[in-house]
Structure 1
Amino acid sequence: MATRRAEGGKHLADNASPAGKVVYCSVTMIVTRAMKITLKKVKEDLNVIRVIVFLLYIDGILFLMSSAILYFVWGLALKGRCEAAIQLCLVFYLSGKVLMYLFLVERSHVVRRSGFRRQSDVWYYFNMAQVLLGFGTIAILSFFRPVAQIDPWDEVCKIGLPFRITLPLLIFDIWINVFLTVQFIFFARRFMSNWVPRTLRDAWGKAIHPRLRNDGPAPLEDNPADQRGILADMAWRTCKAMFIVLSTTIANLSVLFALRGHEQGWLCFLMCSVDVVGAIVTIHWLTNEEGQRNEPSNAPNNRDSVVTTYTHPATPENELHRFHSGAYSQTSSRHAYEQK
């Protein structure tokens, strides 16, 4: 018997392969350290979008730490600990997905915010309803009958989700990411060029990049070409971020499909960690790049200088820049609404 036993014959150690343990332990330590370093930058200026990113970091760090403690300190060879492992995965994985969806909803809302507050934005309520009702239903159902069992053949903890939960989760994740990304670009189209109708008639992969970088005339007098180019670049990065996030989720759920919902504990922890951390890093790259594009290179390195940089007219694209760069506040939102 490869596992160590205590009184009563209860398993105290997981019988997983040593190579799997080494891979999972290494990834956990490296990713946790990297996330702690980048978290310091996120905490500097907190606004709506940075609060969401901050909570994403907290969710990812807590998941990595708690899963590592459960796996390496107590092990998963007991039935109760095997069940605790899948509950741990579900809590942090699903909460990370909710935060990511809220991030996309906020981005879609802020590009329209010069004319709409949240209380009067029908699209905002529609998007929130999709997240809370659609994904909320799937999340609640996933807690009822998850897979958590000790395999009698090799005495290894196997955890996962049944096919009837995994398939709706994958479909909804693809739908909400594509829908909110297209919605963001659709609302921002009038600040870039008239590329959308032509792009929709052409192949998406061929036409979207050159159309986004179209240097046609600005649709508004207070919308200079450089700001239109920045917003177009935001839209292009948003498309790339969507494909990156979807690729990690599809890879994670595809492994779960292939194993019929029965993954070894270390593999489930590893795949969920890659999925959650991939989303965090992508969103951090997206918001950090947008903030740097809007900050002058010769500005002093202090918060006041960054805030005073944004003195452009309160157009939706300027509000979006403030929103991501840390200089956005509710006061500027009300000011933009009053000017409208």
Structure 2
Amino acid sequence: MYTPDPEESLSLFISLASISAMSVLFGRKTAGTKLSTVNYARGLVVSLYIISWTFSLVAAMLVQTNNFNVVSCTMSVYMCITLYAVSKIIIYLFLMEKVYVVTAVGTTRVNFMLYRINLALLVPYLGIFCLMLIYRVSEVTEDGECKIGLLPPASVTLILYDIFISSWLTLLFIRPLMSSTSLLQGPSKGKLRDVARRTLMGSLIALILSTGNVFTLVLFKGYERGLICLASCTVDVTLNAITVHWVTSRGGGRSANSPVERSSGDRRQQPQTQMTQSEKQVAPLDSHISVTVESYVEQYHQQTSAGSSSAPSY
């Protein structure tokens, strides 16, 4: 009778826990949300949940068949490479979108040079993806253990690229936080700065997680046990999704004088017919997928592009 070893049991537990976590986050993020309210950035967030959930589900199935199985071993490395790469691209696009909404005013993505530069920086990832496919490792040892991973030409290139692109996007996000003329500055922009800081912290966490995960491949020189590699990649993808969920969730630390807090109090005290125009604009943003940077900047972009010289109402 076959008895799973502790590593196999732990890997399966991690996969099942990640499936549960992603299911809960997906339900919370999309509850009561209409498809028409899901914009580009929010679509990226939901896509990340789906990819993370799929990764955890496939990992749970492969973990149980990894030993003495060449097909499962080969599928493990292909699954890790493909789904992991897709999740990283979604995170990069999400961070690029955040940089766009806090730096570009009255400019579309197509016309915003920095956004186009950031998209161009994703092109090398296609070459790295090809390197991962070429220098992949998948073999079953004599004792039945599956060994998968990436050889140094792929793993070292991946970790250097990840450090570069994550550091670049982090610096782009620090700039509006430090600039005195940024859209994030001003007495009425406290909520914007709070979400901006969350995104900055999220990008740093994503960088640390991915660097640590790929570094293990370098440490094992591409020959890591399949169960351990699947578990570490599952943890990486899941924690990145949880971080993005935290970044795009409402903060609990509103001051008593903040515009959002005042509008909430006014709605409780005033009849529906006396609700101001500003309150009508804030309410829908709080009731859908999340309160994110683009929710507050969206109106400002529209007013600026229409030639309005007045500041947006938050």
When the two structures are superposed, what TM-score results if normalisation uses the length of structure 2? 0.79
Give the superposition deviation at 1:295.
Answer: 4.9
- What is the aligned counterpart of 1:140 among 125, 130, 133? 130
Give the superposition deviation at 1:18.
Answer: 1.0
Query: Secondary structure, in 3 states, of the residue corresponding to 1:143?
Result: helix
Give the superposition deviation at 1:21.
Answer: 1.3
Query: Which residue of 2 is the match for residue 54 of structure 1?
Result: 46
Query: Secondary structure, in 3 states, of the residue corresponding to 1:120?
Result: coil
Given that residues 148 and 160 in structure 1 are in contact (C-alpha distance below 8 angstroms), is that contact kept between their aligned partners in structure 2?
A: yes
Q: Which runs of 5+ in 1 are unaligned?
A: 5-12, 195-218, 313-321
Give the superposition deviation at 1:279.
Answer: 1.0
Q: Is residue 30 from structure 1 mapped to residue 17 from structure 2 by the alignment?
A: yes
Give the superposition deviation at 1:42.
Answer: 2.1
Separation in 1, partners of 2:304, 2:6: 56
Q: Is residue 339 from structure 1 mapped to residue 307 from structure 2 by the alignment?
A: yes
**Mapping of residues 287-326 of structure 1, within 5 Å:** 287-289=248-250, 295-296=260-261, 297-298=264-265, 309=279, 311=281, 324=292
Task: Decide whether aligned partners of structure 1 residues 175 and 310 sit closer, same or farther in structure 2, where only a CA change above 3 A counts.
Answer: farther
Task: Decide whether aligned partners of structure 1 residues 178 and 290 sit closer, same or farther in structure 2, where only a CA change above 3 A counts.
Answer: farther
Q: Is residue 63 from structure 1 mapped to residue 55 from structure 2 by the alignment?
A: yes
Give the superposition deviation at 1:19.
Answer: 0.6
Given that residues 21 and 266 in structure 1 are in contact (C-alpha distance below 8 angstroms), is that contact kept between their aligned partners in structure 2?
A: yes
**Match for 1:163: what amino acid?**
P
Given that residues 70 and 139 in structure 2 are in contact (C-alpha distance below 8 angstroms), is that contact kept between their aligned partners in structure 1?
A: yes
Task: Decide whether aligned partners of structure 1 residues 113 and 290 sit closer, same or farther in structure 2, where only a CA change above 3 A counts.
Answer: farther
Given that residues 116 and 337 in structure 1 are in contact (C-alpha distance below 8 angstroms), is that contact kept between their aligned partners in structure 2?
A: yes
Query: Secondary structure, in 3 states, of the residue corresponding to 1:339?
Result: coil
Query: Secondary structure, in 3 states, of the residue corresponding to 1:159?
Result: strand
- What is the aligned counterpart of 1:41 among 28, 31, 45? 28
Query: Which residue of 2 is the match for residue 21 of structure 1?
Result: 8
Separation in 2, partners of 1:225, 1:329: 15
CA displacement, residues 150-183 of structure 1 (integer Å, 9 cap, x when unaligned): 123x221100011111111111111111111211
**Match for 2:134: what amino acid?**
F
Give the superposition deviation at 1:332.
Answer: 7.3
Q: Is residue 264 from structure 1 mapped to residue 225 from structure 2 by the alignment?
A: yes
**Match for 1:187: what amino acid?**
P
- What is the aligned counterpart of 1:250 among 205, 211, 236? 211
Give the superposition deviation at 1:239.
Answer: 3.2
Task: Decide whether aligned partners of structure 1 residues 256 and 173 sit closer, same or farther in structure 2, where only a CA change above 3 A counts.
Answer: same
Task: Decide whether aligned partners of structure 1 residues 46 and 329 sit closer, same or farther in structure 2, where only a CA change above 3 A counts.
Answer: farther
- What is the aligned counterpart of 2:155 among 150, 163, 166? 166
Task: Decide whether aligned partners of structure 1 residues 130 and 292 sit closer, same or farther in structure 2, where only a CA change above 3 A counts.
Answer: farther
CA displacement, residues 228-250 of structure 1 (integer Å, 9 cap, x when unaligned): x3333334333322332122112
Give the superposition deviation at 1:260.
Answer: 1.0
Separation in 2, partners of 1:274, 1:27: 7
Given that residues 291 and 326 in structure 1 are in contact (C-alpha distance below 8 angstroms), is that contact kept between their aligned partners in structure 2?
A: no
Separation in 1, partners of 2:303, 2:280: 13
Separation in 1, partners of 2:239, 2:17: 14
Query: Which residue of 2 is the match for residue 101 of structure 1?
Result: 92
- What is the aligned counterpart of 2:111 among 77, 96, 120? 120
Task: Decide whether aligned partners of structure 1 residues 337 and 112 sit closer, same or farther in structure 2, where only a CA change above 3 A counts.
Answer: farther
Query: Which residue of 1 is the match for residue 68 of structure 2?
Result: 77
Q: Which runs of 5+ in 2 are unaligned?
A: 269-274, 283-289, 309-314
- What is the aligned counterpart of 2:141 among 147, 151, 158? 151
Separation in 2, partners of 1:119, 1:290: 31
**Match for 2:5: what amino acid?**
P
Query: Which residue of 2 is the match for residue 237 of structure 1?
Result: 198
Given that residues 73 and 140 in structure 2 are in contact (C-alpha distance below 8 angstroms), is that contact kept between their aligned partners in structure 1?
A: yes
Task: Decide whether aligned partners of structure 1 residues 21 and 289 sit closer, same or farther in structure 2, where only a CA change above 3 A counts.
Answer: same
**Mapping of residues 153-232 of structure 1, within 5 Å:** 154-190=143-179, 193=180, 224-227=186-189, 229-232=190-193
Identity over aligned residues, as a percent?
26
Task: Decide whether aligned partners of structure 1 residues 295 and 173 sit closer, same or farther in structure 2, where only a CA change above 3 A counts.
Answer: farther
Given that residues 46 and 326 in structure 1 are in contact (C-alpha distance below 8 angstroms), is that contact kept between their aligned partners in structure 2?
A: no
Query: Which residue of 2 is the match for residue 277 of structure 1?
Result: 238
Given that residues 137 and 151 in structure 2 are in contact (C-alpha distance below 8 angstroms), is that contact kept between their aligned partners in structure 1?
A: yes
CA displacement, residues 262-302 of structure 1 (integer Å, 9 cap, x when unaligned): 111110110101111111111110111359868545468xx
Task: Decide whether aligned partners of structure 1 residues 268 and 338 sit closer, same or farther in structure 2, where only a CA change above 3 A counts.
Answer: same
RMSD: 3.1
Number of residue pairs matched?
282
Separation in 2, partners of 1:186, 1:327: 20
